[in-house]
Structure 1
């Protein structure tokens, strides 16, 4: 990688090779449809369409990279989807090729993930939900200003919360690595097996998981409830000290803590 800053994704309508473009390619499909199957010009024109649309396949393959499959493999799958899109597109319907090709190519890539990249058997329904989780979580995070709860993801996808949980767990079955496989660059002879490089369990990881489960719920508490939790667990104050700070009885603080912690526990376990 160089030292230049990140560049904005040009998107599928980016111009390609000067004046060539695939965002106004429908006239070529009109000419293609007018040719008979045995016309030699048909093969040449089809090849021209495919060549001009290759950047679209590259863009979609890049969009799905970083999910456990190499870019080259994804590019081959995306190109197959492009081939299907070119052969199936009906220009007489009046729609743009881009609006037809993008879902066709993306569908081919998603099928590849669903059918070929799971290390253990996972039900097809769960695979399909799992593939939608990333974009759904991103959308909800932007909308809510926080990480969404499992129930909110389920509502967005119009599915049961149990299915969301199953899909989240299924993500762990996406790929596996042998414990005997060497780690390090290119697996050189000096690399240790993965088993020997594993450390001990870090107990703090459990705190991170607990925080991720509870953090979305904190926004639903009252200001007083959040203040009591902050002083009790972040400032390590006693109930008596909190009561004195807020000008209430220690029993009142005890009831707030008991009620609030009980509600958080119930909601976190439910989600």
Structure 2
């Protein structure tokens, strides 16, 4: 296809060669790679908004739809209904990639486009997916709850009660409360989210969330060990104290007892084995 087109920035009329492709979507990926380079080269000289520019751009989109299907294939576990939305969102990523690609980058368009497509799909999941797994019936109830709440709020000028919502939604109050709780799983806040604190200035959410103290798990062990340690001979108790409280080396303990490091090692091993057996027996 030979056509007269307006050159970008100069306004001059020139003849631009554009191959006429009857079914761009049927072009094989390997052929689309070569043809895409040609069409991108033509886009650099064609003026935006012209019929020729739109033809070149639309052909690029249709020829490279296989990239969207390839990227969407990573998310096939989402189910056939959601896959249709994924492909549509992926097309947005493809169009963005086409509008931003430049041959001067000296990279294949496929390598440039796939991250755009996948990124758009992941953004879609981030903006529309639930932060935690919630049963489908509760996901649907959340939408119904939002509509009912807005309707009653505009009608009454206040936030409706669970009883009023239940009556409008033809649900029990327990079901309304459950739907409200499920709504909390739609969005998750980052632990780094800033929170204004009038007393301490600005803090982050993580500052207000308790964490498990690993040392608490030792309390029960200490209580179980106490009678076992008390039943040991004085020398064994002293060795345990020096090793695990004062953190002396076996050589230093041997010097205090007037024996070799090897002998201290045997005594320590025997004592620990006795305590371990005692814990297993009492547990």
What range is the shorter-chain TM-score in?
0.3 to 0.5
Higher strand proportion? 2
More relative contact order, 1 or 2 (CA 8 Å, 6+ apart):
1
Report the TM-score, using the length of structure 1 for normalisation.
Answer: 0.39
Point out the structure with max Rg over C-alpha. Answer: 2
Report the TM-score, using the length of structure 2 for normalisation.
Answer: 0.38
